[in-house]
Amino acid sequence: MGEYARSARGVVTSNGSMMQIPVPFEPQTVQIYNQTVYAATLSGRTGAVANAFWDFDMGQGSAITQLVGAATPYALIPSYLASGGISAYSAGISLQFGNPQQVQTSTQSGSSTAPTSFYVPAHGYQTGDVVIFEGLYASASTGMPQMCGMPFVVNRTDADNFTVPWNSSGSNYTDLTNSPTPVLGANVMQVLFPYLYAPGVSFISSIALGSTTTVTTTAPHNLVAGSEVAFRIPKVNVPPGNQPAWGTVQLNALNDPRRPGSPIYGYVMTVNSPTSVTVKINSSNFTAFNPNVPVKSVVGMSFPQMIAVGDINSGGTNYSGGNLYPSPVVNGVQTINGPGISGAFVNNTSSGFIIGQSLSGMLNDVLYWYASLYDYSNS
């Protein structure tokens, strides 16, 4: 390896789907070997990818592969993938999106705790992907535009349907039918690298009030127990009764009339799931959270948010003047950052490569990978 060349190696257990592998550079070549396929002496894995190679000159998503043949002695058959193979990535300082796809129909929540369903033929999304909606108008004054602009984590139902965690059972939401016209628009896009900063800013989908407060977010919050958080609940007044649109404005950080300008913060007591935390704030007498916002209020509307504000919010330990804590973990994956000083937000700008579903094998297959960046190329 030369002065500026880079190489990395590793082993990963397959999730049976597309996998993102972070490395501290954007590789030019990647090799993959499926140990599980080889260990099975190839029998019983007809058509499986035993190994694969990718070079950046081949194009994103491609790969040269060897597949397990059908006949004894199960020879490896050369093959080429034009898509679904390997691609390199570098997540920048701003969000990057996949191609827009048209929402054909939507189905409102059946209750306040049920998700909202969308029909998007051949959407390609997997459970855990993050998406953002655009438009969602059934007509000029109806539909679900209240959901647009927020990131939502996807729960894949099948190849054509998925749900997102949002209560659309209210009277101000209307189902989309018959492929809304492009003039009004009804599109969805995947957020390719949604966790550029952690914990980041979370959008709130529901709040359970009580002696402690349980907050559910539309996408993973990346908080840990002990995180300090503040809330932004917009005070958008709508009829009837001129009530706040989102309801629970008493949570707002700068809403203490006894101490003007003094923020109200809460501490995360329990991380219930990647999209739910219990915060040490007594909200027993607060106004109920209400996502039933009228369509006419969408223009210029702000969303309810939970924001990390404390010193240690990324899984580290308190800084005491000695060694700094190790690289923080974002969405269950260790980042490539070096040691960091305590802070509410961690830069999760990352690079690496993506193993497509065509190469990831079956659930729990063991894959060995090698990635390289070279000093010189004559391409």
The pLDDT of residue 312 is: 46
The pLDDT of residue 42 is: 61
pTM score over 0.85:
no
User: Which residues sit opposite 340 in a β-bridge?
Assistant: 325
The pLDDT of residue 320 is: 39
**What are the tokens at 255?**
């809403």
State how far the Cα of 30 lies from the Cα of 107, in Å rounded to an integer.
42
Place of tokens 């701003």: 94
The pLDDT of residue 205 is: 94
State how far the Cα of 94 lies from the Cα of 73, in Å rounded to an integer.
51
The pLDDT of residue 65 is: 96
Q: Which residues contact 210 (CB under 8 A, 6 or more apart)?
A: 282, 283, 284
Task: Give the three-state DSSP class for 146.
Answer: helix
Number of Cβ atoms within 10 Å of the Cβ of 352: 20
State how far the Cα of 64 lies from the Cα of 62, in Å rounded to an integer.
7
Task: Give the three-state DSSP class for 50.
Answer: strand
Residue 166 CA, chain-centre distance (Å), reads 15
Task: Give the three-state DSSP class for 249.
Answer: helix
The pLDDT of residue 321 is: 35
Q: Answer yes or no: are the C-beta atoms of 292 and 215 closer than 8 Å.
A: no
Average pLDDT across each block of 10 residues of the chain; the chain has 379 residues. List them in order: 79 87 92 91 78 93 89 80 87 78 91 92 88 88 89 93 94 86 76 81 94 95 84 70 73 71 81 93 93 79 85 44 48 59 67 89 93 84
Task: Give the three-state DSSP class for 36.
Answer: helix
Number of Cβ atoms within 10 Å of the Cβ of 52: 26
User: Which residues sit opposite 87 in a β-bridge?
Assistant: 354
State how far the Cα of 291 lies from the Cα of 139, in Å rounded to an integer.
20
**What are the tokens at 30?**
């990647």
> Rounded to a whole number, what is the largest CA-CA distance in the chain?
81
Find the helix or strand (DSSP H, E) in which 49 lies: strand 49-55
User: Which residues sit opposite 102 in a β-bridge?
Assistant: 187
Q: Answer yes or no: are the C-beta atoms of 303 and 312 closer than 8 Å.
A: no
Q: Answer yes or no: are the C-beta atoms of 106 and 135 closer than 8 Å.
A: no
State how far the Cα of 163 lies from the Cα of 351, in Å rounded to an integer.
29
State how far the Cα of 327 lies from the Cα of 37, in Å rounded to an integer.
33
State how far the Cα of 69 lies from the Cα of 46, in Å rounded to an integer.
6
The pLDDT of residue 297 is: 73
The pLDDT of residue 194 is: 83
**What are the tokens at 210?**
């009580």
